[in-house]
């Protein structure tokens, strides 16, 4: 079911959350890159970054379904 959104405040809010997800993913990628490869810490940060990126992509796809952002 596709929801029609009047105006852009809701889309702007969702976009802001997607930006936050991207920032969290980037922070996890930085931590991953600082960790020694093959360790549990490296794996944890890599997995977390992947989950944040997937959440970001999913949210941005939903935003596109809701309509134009301008």
pLDDT at 8 over 90: no
- How open is the CA angle 55-21-5, to the nearest 5 degrees? 75
Tokens 């997937």 — which residue? 54
Q: Over 70: is that where the pLDDT of 5 sits?
A: no
Q: Is the pTM of this model over 0.85?
A: no
Q: Alpha helix locations (H) across 1-70?
A: 9-34, 40-66
**Both tokens of residue 10?**
């809701």
Q: For residue 66, what pLDDT is reported?
A: 87
**Distance separating alpha carbons of residues 70 and 65, to the nearest angstrom:** 14
């Amino acid at each position: 079911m596709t929801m029609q959104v009047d105006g852009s405040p809701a889309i702007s809010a969702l976009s802001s959350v997607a930006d936050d997800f991207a920032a969290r993913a980037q922070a996890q990628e930085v931590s991953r890159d600082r960790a020694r490869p093959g360790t549990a810490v490296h794996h944890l940060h890599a997995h977390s970054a992947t989950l944040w990126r997937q959440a970001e992509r999913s949210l941005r796809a939903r935003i596109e379904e809701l309509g134009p952002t301008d």
